[in-house]
């Protein structure tokens, strides 16, 4: 049996993708639409207060394409906190018009592949900031789930620890060339969801997502050992951004 990798875990993550039921929304009179939007804005305000107290983080996005319209991305200390947040959202009357499209539950994860001997990562403020992140409020987001392949000669989990460590170090070097252009948060979902990891990328320029993912396709970790799910890309909305989308419809 190959040596397993140990990990550090931080906040739990809930990617909540929604589609707008435009047909049903149009049946509401303007006054009721305003009431529902006011409730949603108040909900987002409470999320912002949580973030300001550094007890979690939330970001809100308009998703491109037909897979979803919106993404509510939450970070919280426990699964119970995420469930409470989900319940609060479902109690909003506007939730009847924001239908579930996809969701992903995971936890912020840092591996020990880059650990230094004798170093306690929990004493490092930079590590703490990565485990308990305030979500970047850059203009764009990209999310995709992924697995490490477990088949035939391309079984990641049958490689020795040192080989995996070398491969991941080389893989990480590509990401470092995008420092200042793309920030990523890796969340682990083994035992939590249908994939093993979720990758969330943040950037001011959405084109950087394409460049980074394409370049990584040529690295052995992705080319030989990576399987990827659907990609979701979108742009940041303000707390009352939904109002701008739906007003006058």
Tell me which residue has tokens 């170093």.
119
Whole-angstrom distance, CA of residue 187 vs CA of residue 131: 10
| Residues marked as catalytic | 144
Whole-angstrom distance, CA of residue 228 vs CA of residue 150: 13
What's the start-to-end Cα distance of the chain, in Å?
59
Whole-angstrom distance, CA of residue 75 vs CA of residue 55: 9
Give residues with Cβ within 8 angstroms of 91, minimum separation 6: none
Q: Return the closest-CA partner of residue 47 out of 6, 19, 87, 75.
A: 75
């Amino acid at each position: 049996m190959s040596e397993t990798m140990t990990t550090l875990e931080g906040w739990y993550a809930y990617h909540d993708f929604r589609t707008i039921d435009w047909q049903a929304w149009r049946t509401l009179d303007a006054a009721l639409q305003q009431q529902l939007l006011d409730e949603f804005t108040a909900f987002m305000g409470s999320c912002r207060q949580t973030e300001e107290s550094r007890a979690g983080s939330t970001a809100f996005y308009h998703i491109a394409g037909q897979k979803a319209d919106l993404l509510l991305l939450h970070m919280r200390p426990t699964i119970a906190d995420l469930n409470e947040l989900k319940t609060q959202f479902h109690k909003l009357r506007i939730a009847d018009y924001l239908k579930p499209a996809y969701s992903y539950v995971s936890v912020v994860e840092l591996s020990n592949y880059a650990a230094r001997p004798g170093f306690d990562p929990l004493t490092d403020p930079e590590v703490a900031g990565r485990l308990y992140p305030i979500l970047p409020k850059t203009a764009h987001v990209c999310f995709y789930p992924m697995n490490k392949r477990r088949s035939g000669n391309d079984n990641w989990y049958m490689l020795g620890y040192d080989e995996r460590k070398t491969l991941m170090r080389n893989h990480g070097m590509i990401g470092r060339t995008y420092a200042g252009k793309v920030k990523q948060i890796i969340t682990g979902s083994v035992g939590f969801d249908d994939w093993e990891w979720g990758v969330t990328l943040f950037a001011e320029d959405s084109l950087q997502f394409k460049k980074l993912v394409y370049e990584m396709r040529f690295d052995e970790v992705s080319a030989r050992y990576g399987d990827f799910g659907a990609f979701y890309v979108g742009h940041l909305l303000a707390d009352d951004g939904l109002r701008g989308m739906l007003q006058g419809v």
